[in-house]
Every structure is written in C-alpha cells, then in structure tokens.
Structure 1
Amino acid sequence: MRSYLILLMCFLFLIQYFANISWLGYMVVSMALVAFIASAIKATGFPRIIAIIMMGTGMLIELNKGTGLEGISQGILMILPLLCLVTFAPLLSLPLKLGGYFQSVDLLLRNLLHHPRKLFAGITATLFILSPILSLGSVRIINEFLTDLKLPKAMSAKSYLIGFSTAVMWSPYFASVSLVLYYLGMPVGTYILYGIGLSFLSLFIGNVLFFLWERRHPFGRSIVPEKKLEKKHQNQLLQLALFVVVLMGSSLTIEYLTKWSMIVIVSIISITLPFVWGLVTNGWKRLNPTLIQFRDQSVPMMNNEIMLFMSAGLLAHAIQGTNFANLVSEYLTVIANQSFLLFALAVMMIVLVVTYIGIHQIAVVAALAMQLSADELGISNLALAMLLLLTWSISSALSPFSGLNLMVSRIVGISGVETGLRANGLHLSILAVLGIGIIIMIN
C-alpha cells in the first residue's frame, strides 16, 4: 500500500509540474507528509531520529517565521522533484539487468585481478559509469562481483568511495547536481563538462595514490585463470558506455529544447525507458516481473531516502531568510569580497562540520544554494555551483553518517571514520586543494 502511495504522489507531482493546479499541489503535499510518516514508522536507527529532528525543526522555523502551512507546503513542493528522481531512477537499471550487461562487468573485473592497479582503475571507472544510473545500487552490485575475491579492505574502501563520489559532481541523474543547479537556476548543459572535469581529476588523484599505496602493500592472487575477454562481452561493455552517453545526451537535448527542469526530465526518461526497451525488444514477459519487483520491493525500501530528503529539503527551505541564514550569508559575502580562497574554505568547512555530525548534505548545501547570490559574492554562478558540488562530493565520502559512507563501511567491515578519513583522507584533501585551485582559475 505504501508503494502505491509513493508512486501516486510522484506521478501527481509530475502532472502538477505541467498543469500548475493549486489544489493538486496541496494534495501532493498532503500525500508527501503521509509518506513521510509511513516511512518513519517503518525505518529504524539514526536516520529516523535525524529525519524527525530535521522535519520538526523545519516546521517550527516556518511557523516562527509566520509562513505557517504555506511555507511548509512550499518547502515540500521544492523537494518533491528530487523525491520523484530517487523513486523513478532505479527503473533505468532494468534494461541493463535484462540485457546481461552486468555479467560482462563481472567478467571484466575478475579478469583484472592479476593486475591490482588495473583492477582498481576498472572498479573506479565502472562506478563512474554505473553510479549515475544505479545510484548506491552500483556499489552493491560491484561488491557482489568481488566478494569471493577477498580484496584488502583498504582497497575496497578506496575504490568504492572514489568511484562513486565522482558521480556526485557531474551526473544530472544524481540528487546533488540536479538540486544545486535547480536552486541556482543554471542549465545542466552549462555545467556538466566542468563537473566531468572535476570527476576525472578525482579519478586521476585516486588512481595515482593507489599506485603509491599498492607499492607499499603489494598483493597478488589468482582465483580465476586469466583469459581474454570474449568479443561478446567487449561489445556489451562498449554498449553500456554508449548507453550512458546517449542517456546524458538525450537529457541535455530535451533540457535545451524545452527548458524544463532537469529533475523532471530525468524522472520522465526513467519512467519511459523500460517501456521503450520492452517495445523495441518485445521483452514484455521478462520486463513485467522486474516492474512488479520494483513496485513491491524497491519502492518500499526507500524509507531513509524519503525521510532524509524530505526533512532536509524542508529544513533548508525554512532556514532561508532567517536571521541566522542572513548572518551566515553576510559573513560569507564579506569573506568572498576579500578572497575567493577564504570563501571557498569557509563554505567547505561549514558543510563538512555540519554533515560530519549527521545532518544530510541536502539541508546545508541546498540552504547555501538558496541563500547565497553569486552576484553579491562577486563570483560567477558556475564557480559557486562547482564549489558546492565539490564540497558535497567530499562530505559524502568523509562523513560517517552519509549514505555512501555507511554502505561502504558496512560492506567492507570497518568503521565510517576509517572508511572516510583514514582510507580516503589524503585523496579528499588533495582533491579539495586542486579543485578549489581550478575553480579559482575558472572564476
């Protein structure tokens, strides 16, 4: 029943986006609040506690500001596009699963076991390609492939975080990029090449550091005999990369032609792609069970995402315009007018501190994106977007409470602090320094 509520809420929001009917907007907000309560009942542990705190704080701030129910409704409506994206995005993986592409990825990685540096590059590159489509599911899939290979824990922690966190900086199919550019009013097409540049920089730094690490911690094991990858699997890997390119190209083209929000475009593509695949391949019999599984298993498992995204989004909207937010904005504006470097370090420090204690990136980064004005700061909108997304990516890897860090630390079997700070602290520090340097040059 809860899955039907969430799916109906998302479909009605997409209708509301184009129809702009007031009463339908309030109806969608009411359904969102019910979905939040239902998810909070099912969820457990720290995510539920922090989500309830953020939601309650956001509501209290809106009431204290005098905006009341209208402010709460606006805050939830602003985050609903993101909820649609995270709900429908898993549908993109269905054609890949049914097409056998993941088997080719498995064989490629196993074939690279004899070459640790190539294996590390293969893992990070594969996550770079798959993460925009599968989100955190990409880490789970890669780990399933590699579980019986018994890789060193440090290697797994490094490769998973480095490979996945790159998508946070460039992919329009990710909450980070869609949300920041949405609030800054910047087309994805204007930003995406710069985001990909930061991602490649992160991959380069990570692989160079692993090269140096592996020289001090050599390992070499052969669980499967090395053999040349069959032509069939080589073609499937090429098709997989081409699939991502076509997906991104289609999204950017639609955005350029229609000027719709990229979050809405991605949601529509996610819904239509499986049905287009079924029509082209005549694979309805294979597709139907996966759609049912998505409805009955994938959607109900989104408790944490619905709670954290909705509560963090409302809190970010509520903070906007408060005395505290204005004070922070004025402080950052003064710093920016003196030195962009100090401004960048201040923004990064604020985000890292807040997220390290458990507040979701959406709350703090979205609040900064809504509150800060590039013109008042004396910087370009592009530089501000790059800084916020670079900071989001670093905090996702570093914070022991982020979804990425929690998953990787649980998979690898080490603490979140070890996963983020010890295994990847040097990489993240170098990325921060070089990334800020590049942004300064662009600005």
Structure 2
Amino acid sequence: MTSPEQANTAENPWPVRTISFKIADWIHRLGAVWVEGQLTQINVRRGTRTAFLTLRDPAADMSLSVTCDPMLLQRSAVPLTEGARVVVYGRPNFYAGRGTLSLRITDIRPVGIGELLARIERVKALLAAEGLFDPRRKRPLPFLPHTVGLISGRASAAQRDVLAVAAARWESVRFDVRDTPVQGPTAVPAIIEQLALLDDDPHVQVIIIARGGGSVEDLLPFSDETLLRAVADCRTPVVSAIGHEPDTPLLDLVADVRAATPTDAAKRVVPDVTAELRAIAELRRRSAGALRNWVHREERVVEGLRSRPVLANPLRMIDDRQDRVDAAVRDIRRSTRHLVTVEEHRTERLAAQLATLGPAQTLARGYAVVQRTDIDQPRAVRSIAELPDGGEVRIRVADGSAAAVITRSDAARPQHPSTQEDPQ
C-alpha cells in the first residue's frame, strides 16, 4: 500500500495532520536563535504556566508571537513593559493542533541605554560613510510654501505649537496634517507611509516631522535606519523638529533643515508676514530716498552745466570772433584785388611783348608775306625756287593783300650785310 508521503495527488491528498507535522518538522530544524524586537503585548494569566508576548519589528509592520515561562518575566532585572526593546533567545515552535507559529524563549534581556546609543552610533557611522549627512544634499526651503505637510502625534503639543505659531506669522498658510504615532513599535511604519504620501503630493512644498521631547527610548524611531533612508530619498525638503535643543536624533542630520523645537520649525518654514511687510515698507522708503537723492544730484549737475559761459551765452564765442572774421574777410578781399591787379599788369606786359614780336609789326616796317595760292595747301614762300613762272601768289602787306602772277623770277645776288639797304 502506498504511503501518503509517497503519493500526493488530487486523488490521494495529504491529510491536515500530515502537512502540519511536516511544517513542524522543518521549523523545529531551525534551532535556537537570538532575536531583537519591541514588546507590544504582555499577557500573563494567573494560574497558568505560559506567558504570551508579541515581539514587533520596530522598522517594519511585522510581529511574532512569543511564549515563555511567567517566571522568566519576573526574574528580569529591569521591569518589562510594553514598548521595551529586548533581545530574546528561543526556538521556533509550530503548534500542529492549531497551526500556529510562536517563538518559545528561554532567555530575555532588556536592551539598555548604552546598547541603544551604541547601535545609534553604528547607524550614524554607516549613513555618514554613504554621504547622507553631506551638506551639499540639503535642499533650500521655499520662501512662501503653497502647502506645508506636518507629521506629528494626534492633538500633541508639538502639533499645536507648529499650527499656532504658523497661523500667527501668516494667517493664509495651509497645512496638510498627518497624525501618526511618534513612539512605540508602530511609529516608524506609520511615519514612512505618511511621508511617502506627502512627498507625492505636488502641492506640498515642505514637510515638517515634529515631536515633543522625551527619553532616548521614546525618540528611537527618529534614529531608525529605515526612516532615515526614506527621508533622504524624499524629493520635498524635510524639516526635523524632534524634541528640544539637547535632543539630537539622527533625523536631525539627514533632514534638510534641523529645527531646535517645533516652534522653531514653524518660524523657519512660515515667514512672518508682519516682519516682511515692515521690510518691504523699509525697502520702499529707502528706494524712494535713493531715487530722490539721485534726482537732486543730477539736477545739481545740470545746473552746473547750465551755469558755464558756453551754455549761459552760447553766441558769445561767435560775437567775440566776429571782428576777427570781418578783418579776415577784408584781408582776403584786399589780397584778391592786389592779385588781380598784378596779373592784369603782367597780362598787359605780355600782350605788348607779343605785339612787338608778332608779324603785324614786321609788316608795318615795310615787309610783305608771299603765299602760293595755286596749290592744295597754300603756304608762305621761303625760296625763289618756289615761284615758278605763271604761278599764282598772294602778297600780304601791312594794310592788306593783293593777288599776282609770276612772269619772271630772278635769283638775288649775295650782298655784304653792311651794304644792304633798309626796305623802306
């Protein structure tokens, strides 16, 4: 006959007890483990030998049922209360009768302040090495945010302080308030959820995470690594307003702005309208005064320019030089007349010289000019050889000319210059 372990089909399914025993067998093989968490429930009933606890992960919405001997809780050196951080040692146990899983512990140790601070320092060193505290990552706050996101405890003093101070500084400021636990095991998941919702809202331009003061254990959620990384990944500027001045959770180092108190956060995020109006009025007064002083200064410059002689009497320079201009005109005219007279005399002298050397004066002394007229181009006769018999000539004398015909030509006999007679 085939056993259930060897055949598991729709026709031959395993009974509940078989699967329960198999699950219990695998879980029991895990062995004993050390687990850290936060106590959220402690249920100890009188007359029973089992105490029921709930151990929750402070950084995630996960919990685990824990069982132990009630005497284990009573022997604890520090009273165990809900919200306490503990380290437990036990073995996972699967109860097949009800199908439930629990952790059966044999040792429980409260986490002391020194251990908490040491763990915070380790987280601080890790995030610092990754550059999450770098000032260059800090984003500036908007001057007039459209909407301010506020994450705080419901009806808490921190919430009232932020809203009251912001309303006093600017009545029109808008807040998107998200109530979340600010301590305990559910604080981190709730804050991360609301932080993501506000970061996705395009109207929210700055987010404030506010909480009043408290002990180191109360402020542990604001040094949780998961929350710090969520704040570092936000696109919207985040303001940390946790506790009072001495309180320094790691959120102060990751946030874009650290406020000493919730009241200080409201002052940093929301501008004081009255102060801004006073500043605007002062700037307007100063700018008006500066403008008036500039106009007065320019007026004095213009007056100084107008008082100068060249602008006070612009024609004075011309009047002062009019005599020099008139004298120059007279000199020019006189020089021109003199030059014309000199050139006239020179012209007359040259004309007289020209008349003296011209042919008219020669003809007046009794000479004549003979020109051949029977040729194509009449020309003056220079030689007897140019006067053939029967040739036609024109004889020009001082007072006219006459035509003649050559009947005979004789060559002249050479004479001594001293025996030549005047033609006249």
TM-score range normalised by the length of the shorter chain: under 0.3
Higher-Rg member (1/2): 2
User: TM-score normalized by structure 2?
Assistant: 0.23
1 or 2, which has the higher helix percentage? Answer: 1
TM-score calculated relative to the size of structure 1: 0.22
